[in-house]
């Protein structure tokens, strides 16, 4: 008899960060992962992860809502269903539950991991096959201190860990932020690509002023300078400046990607499995972007190893990603809950090998960091 989904367990896992990570909307001292363990009647377990940033400060799903909505609404839609037909299961979730893209991404990841283990294929192979086995990874400088950020960047360059850096700005007045970014770029010179992420903090007039100065300072990419829903403003910024715009919070899925491209946007899209409800959804967005001549960027919501590995399997199936990836989430955490960490070297990371995601949980570490209330 073919396998069915038997149980879906969700765990909140709190891991400390290696240093405070300062974004425009919050400063993180820890990250909370929602880990999904999906057990099937053939004895296979699929792993998934749904992770956001700073409770409810980044978006409408919190770790607690992800867990609760999976437990209460989404898991019952899957339990008892045949394990293997991902398209049918994904359509079932879409039909009966709106939104909750991070929760859905965690579940789709667990389904793909299990199906890969069942068939002896990696997730990238399930998606048609990997075109790359090593992907570039940038690092985010967000200690909140210019000197510390410069030292951190030089250390990463010396270790051959990262040669592209993203700076989180928007929490301070624009002139202060511009001075901070320009000082880091001046220190690094041509040794590194420096980009900024404003995380929606500016209004359009402030953005025009800030971007003009950042362009003069030699910054390569401006991420989400204005609020997510201001598509017309983002189009205007992309047409006004030579430095390209990266749309992040503005593009969740293929529909957003199509609307923004059709409105005249040029630049790049940050792809995130969490925004698009999983790997299949994010690849749909990637394909819209490719058709529209918009550059690709492999984005993160600062997931741990499971979510990062899932994203890497998706990015590996794509052709060139014009802006590389930021799949450094596990490196921001002091510890991990998997047996073998991802292998970061030579300014990038290896695609994990083996069936499914290629990741094994460390049960002791998981028990240690899992929240028990
Ligand atoms: C974001 O908005 O891009 C990605 C890297 C990082 O430091 O924060 C995230 C979220
Ligand atoms: Mg961003």
- Does the beta carbon of 197 lie inside 6 Å of ligand 1? yes
Q: Is the shortest distance between the CB of 326 and ligand 1 below 6 Å?
A: yes
168 is annotated as an active-site residue: yes
Closest ligand 1 atom to 249 CA: 2
Nearest alpha carbon, ligand 1 atom 4: 300
Which parts of the chain register pLDDT below 50?
A: none
Tens of pLDDT, residue by residue over 102-126, are 999 999 999 999 999 999 999 999 9
| Token digits of residue 304 | 């741990």
Start-to-end CA span in the chain (Å): 38
Q: Which among 22, 53, 247 is the best mutation to test ligand 1's pocket, defined by most ligand atoms within 8 Å of the CB? A: 53
Contact between 306 and 109 under an 8 Å Cβ cutoff? The reply is: yes
Residue among 300, 311, 324, 325 to mutate when testing ligand 1 (max atoms within 8 A of CB): 300
Predicted local confidence at residue 92, as pLDDT: 98
Task: Give the pLDDT score at 165.
Answer: 98
Distance 271 CA to ligand 1 centre (A): 11
Q: Is 83 in the pocket of ligand 1 (CB under 6 A)?
A: no
What ligand 1 atom has the least distance to the C-alpha of 332? Answer: 7
The reported pLDDT for the residue numbered 1 is 65
Indicate if ligand 1 lies below 6 Å from the C-beta of 331: no
CA of 142 to the centre of ligand 2 (A): 13
Mutation probe of ligand 1 site: the residue of 165, 171, 199, 201 with most atoms within 8 A of C-beta: 199
- Determine the pLDDT at residue 372: 87
ipTM greater than 0.90 = yes
Q: Which domains does the chain have, with CATH numbers?
A: 5-125+362-369 (3.30.390.10), 128-350 (3.20.20.120)
DSSP string across 142-159: -SS-HHHHHHHHHHHHHT
Q: How far is the CA of 144 from the centre of ligand 1 (A)?
A: 15
Specify the ligand 1 atom closest to the Cα of 300: 4
The radius of gyration of the chain's CA atoms, rounded to the nearest angstrom, is 20
Told to judge if 166 belongs to the known catalytic residues of this protein, a careful annotator would answer: no
300 lines ligand 1 (CB under 6 A): yes
Q: Where are the beta strands (DSSP E) in the chain?
A: 5-22, 27-40, 45-51, 134-136, 139-141, 164-168, 193-197, 221-223, 245-247, 267-271, 295-298, 344-345, 348-350
C-alpha distance from residue 33 to each of 55, 202, 329 (Å):
11, 29, 11
Nearest-5° Cα angle at 185, 135 to 148:
85
User: Which 8-state DSSP code applies to residue 39?
Assistant: E
Q: Using CA atoms, how far apart are residues 235 and 248, in angstroms rounded to an integer?
A: 13
User: 301: CA distance to ligand 1 center in Å?
Assistant: 6
């Amino acid at each position: 008899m073919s396998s069915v989904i038997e149980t879906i367990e969700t765990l909140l896992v709190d891991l400390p960060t290696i240093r405070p990570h300062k974004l425009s909307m919050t400063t993180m001292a820890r990250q909370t992962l929602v880990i999904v363990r999906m057990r099937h009647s053939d004895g296979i377990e699929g792993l998934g992860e749904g992770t956001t940033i700073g409770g409810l400060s980044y978006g409408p799903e919190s770790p607690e809502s992800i867990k609760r909505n999976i437990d209460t609404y989404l898991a019952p839609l899957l339990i008892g269903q045949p394990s293997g037909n991902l398209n049918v299961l994904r359509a079932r979730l879409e039909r009966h539950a709106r939104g909750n893209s991070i929760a859905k991404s965690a579940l789709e990841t667990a389904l793909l991991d299990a199906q890969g283990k069942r068939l002896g294929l990696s997730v990238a192979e399930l998606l048609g096959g990997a075109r790359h086995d090593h992907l570039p990874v940038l690092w985010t400088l967000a200690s909140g201190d210019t000197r510390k950020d410069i030292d951190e960047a030089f250390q990463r360059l010396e270790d051959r860990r990262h040669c592209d850096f993203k700076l989180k700005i928007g929490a301070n007045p624009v002139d202060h932020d511009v001075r901070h970014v320009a000082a880091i770029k001046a220190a690094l010179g041509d040794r590194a690509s420096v980009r900024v992420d404003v995380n929606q903090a500016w209004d359009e007039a402030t953005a025009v002023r800030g971007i003009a100065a950042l362009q003069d300072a030699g910054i390569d990419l401006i991420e989400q300078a204005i609020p997510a829903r201001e598509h017309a403003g983002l189009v205007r910024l992309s047409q006004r400046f030579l430095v390209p715009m990266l749309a992040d919070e503005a593009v969740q899925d293929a529909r957003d990607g199509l609307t923004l491209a059709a409105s005249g946007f040029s630049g790049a899209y940050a792809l995130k499995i969490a925004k698009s409800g999983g790997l299949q959804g994010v690849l749909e967005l990637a394909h819209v972007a490719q058709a529209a001549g918009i550059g690709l960027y492999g984005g993160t919501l600062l997931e741990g190893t499971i979510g990062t590995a899932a994203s890497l399997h998706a990015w590996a199936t794509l052709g060139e990603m014009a802006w590389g990836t930021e799949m450094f989430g596990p490196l921001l955490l002091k510890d991990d809950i998997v047996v073998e960490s991802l292998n970061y070297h030579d300014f990038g990371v290896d695609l994990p090998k083996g069936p499914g995601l290629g990741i094994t949980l460390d049960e002791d570490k998981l028990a240690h960091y899992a929240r028990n209330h």
